[in-house]
Amino acid sequence: MAKEAKTILDLLKEKRVFSPRKDFSENAHVKSESVYKKASRSREAFWEGFAKELDWYKKWRKVLDWKTPHSKWFVGGKINISYNCIDRHINTARKNKAAIIWEGEPGDSRVITYWDLYREVNKFANVLKKLGVKKGDRITIYLPMIPEAAVAMLACARIGAPHSVVFGGFSADSLRDRINDSQAKILITSDGGFRRGSVVPLKKNADEALFGAASIEKVIVVKRVGEKAQIEMKEKRDLWWHELMENAPQYCEPEKMDSEDMLYILYTSGTTGKPKGIVHTTGGYLVGVYATTKWVFDLKEEDTFWCTADIGWVTGHSYIVYGPLANGATSLMYEGAPDYPDRDRFWEIVEKYGVNIFYTAPTAIRVFMKWGEEYPRKHDLSTLRLLGSVGEPINPEAWMWYYVNIGNKKCPIVDTWWQTETGMILITPLPGVTKLKPASATKPFPGIEADVVDENGKSIEVGAGYLVLKSPWPAMLRTIYGDPERYVQQYWSRFPNMYFTGDGAKRDKDGYLWLLGRVDDVMNVAGHRVSTMEVESALVDHPSVAEAAVIGKTDELKGQAISAFVTLKESIKSNSGLVDELKKHVTKKIGAIARPDDIIFTAELPKTRSGKIMRRLLRDIAEGRALGDTTTLADPTIVRQLKDKYEDKEG
């Protein structure tokens, strides 16, 4: 134990740069830095090269049509994603290769070959068609991490019905909002899901969501937990997945989709109370995720690839389903929690299936670190050859711990920066060529033009500023569903002709990028994106609350934790019961990911003379810093009192 700690400390102190190992580089897809030059000479030719590796019904006329801020990629091309993820492989040696290896939380498992997936997806596509689903109709998917989630997504893609996957941890209210925004026709859910041995009542939530979601005509229910969930099937509306599948025809002709036809909508939190429906289209998205899966993870035919994200987030869309399957890889999917039944569950799975590539979030790594080395040590992790990180900035300590204890000092770590909006990884090492610095996402992927700029949009060569993207990339979002103005306003207005990411970043003298976190009112809680405004709205929705201000405070494990400052209505007295009640209320309105860690009652919130809540000061208070400049406040005594109160509470 002491010995290992010393090694990590030594490595940290050294500020060593980790060069790719020779044996890794020699066998990597990308062996030389020349790809960066080549891509920047002609970005379009670069992406076209990947497009040519896929199967198209009709070739594109033009690679890119760019009228800032609107892009069209592979213009005029016709393609189907489910064909490329499945049919393309079944006439090859991959026919009976595992496409998805699924491990259920209670220990049940399934291996689904490409041939199995072909059969399932075709049948389910026919089920949807029989229920009247047409190209362009939206389908909401609210499922646990079971293979049916991937089957449902691919079946939607097969018939050209955009899917909108809603993370199973979201509440009935959140589900209802997302259904209403997209006006989905069908909802696919399950009787329940397993989480740490108990049952998540998905169908019950769905029933509740459907009061006030009139667009849904049918609900398809997967049986996952059986007797353990008490559910009611509503006649005519609710149908069992397995019954529908029984007589479904075996083949469904894939729809010939235009490159720019919508593939999916995925809701994510923004700086207002209303989540944004990020729209991704077909051709460019597939090219982007295909290319990055292959190069960033150095994916090879024989690899077993495990991305631990949930399918409800973009990471699951791009790197459990579309990217790996387009590459004909074996993608592992795990249903449950990392500590069920014990804290070595992930490592047990790595050993059981001989996982080669493992992709997870810093928040998970920090938890593993806290649990201790004994858990990974119980298992043979020698099959691992590459590790990945995503979702939030990783700290050097966590990077080193991951490198030493999981990667056994032989696996490169790809720290990948991207967003729901970008659809694909944009800043990342290329494992065969990039020298790694612990906790730097290193460089933009070839063909990606990222920059760090100051307030005025001027490029900062060395130093910190705002992260922007200066040219389009194939998997970029095309718009916000139903709100094209918000698309322009949100991403393209802060700096002219640049996509504003909402992140801060620092560039060092070697041109390496270090991500610094969000600079807007978006929090990153355990790798999940949560809007301060959404949590505030949920709090204000409670009858006792007059006003609320929410901030993300630095947290050792979760990156950020949610602190809420709340003023109560005049007749209401604060008490600890009310703290729990408000936490529960937020969980009910949004989901457990948005549950505040602390709630502080205050008679007033610190505001400027123009009435703006000073969140910066609240952050100083929550993180125990000396208060900064308070001269612009309408009433400076308020923060003083609040600070004392907060410190009392902590002490």
Q: Which residues bind ligand WT7 (CB under 6 A)?
A: 268, 314-315, 390-393, 415-420, 441, 501-503, 515, 517-518, 524, 529
From CA 554, how far away is CA 29, in angstroms rounded?
38
Task: Give the residue ranges of DSSP H helices in 476-592.
Answer: 484-492, 532-540, 576-589
DSSP structure class, residue 392: S
- Tell me the closest approach of the beta carbon of residue 374 to ligand WT7, in angstroms: 28
Nearer to ligand WT7 among residue 594 and residue 621 (C-beta): 594
Q: Return the amino acid letter for 235.
A: E
Eight-state DSSP code of residue 418: -
C-alpha distances (whole Å) from 42 to each of 31, 46, 105 are: 20, 6, 47
Question: Of 104 and 388, which CB lies nearer to ligand WT7 in the complex structure?
Answer: 388
What is the closest distance, in whole angstroms, from the C-beta atom of residue 625 to ligand WT7 in the complex?
22
Distance CA 624, CA 644 (A): 10
CB of 390 to ligand WT7, least distance (A): 5
Nearer to ligand WT7, 86 or 452 (CB): 452
CB-nearer residue toward ligand WT7: 86 or 398: 398
Question: In the complex, what is the shortest distance from the CB of residue 5 to ligand WT7, in angstroms, rounded to a whole number?
Answer: 25
3-state secondary structure of 594: helix
- Report whether 559 contacts 392 (CB < 8 A): yes
How many Å apart are CA 91 and CA 71, to the nearest integer?
34
Cβ-based nearer residue to ligand WT7, 515 or 594: 515
**Neighbour tally for 297: CB within 10 Å:** 30
How many residues are listed for the chain in this entry? Answer: 651
Count CB neighbours of 152 within 10 A.
28
Amino acid at 385: R
Task: Give least dist CB 485 to ligand WT7, A.
Answer: 21
Alpha-carbon separation of residue 17 from 84, 95, 436, 437, 531 (angstroms) = 39, 42, 6, 5, 36
Mapped onto helix, strand or coil, the DSSP state of residue 1 is coil
Residue 364 phi, psi (nearest 5): -65, -45
Q: Hey, CA dihedral for 451, 454, 457, 458, is it positive or negative?
A: negative
For ligand WT7, the closer CB: 112 or 480:
480
> What ranges in 541-636 are assigned the alpha helix state H?
576-589, 615-622
Q: Which is nearer to ligand WT7, 124 or 487 (CB)?
A: 487
Q: CB-wise, 451 or 503, nearer to ligand WT7?
A: 503
Dihedral (CA of 555, 558, 559, 560) sign: negative
Least spacing, CB of residue 416 vs ligand WT7, in Å: 5
CB of 197 to ligand WT7, least distance (A): 27
Joined together, the tokens standing for residue 496 give 């002219």
Tell the smallest beta-carbon distance from residue 285 to ligand WT7 (Å): 14
Q: How far is the CB of 31 from ligand WT7 (least distance, A)?
A: 24
Nearer to ligand WT7, 259 or 416 (CB): 416
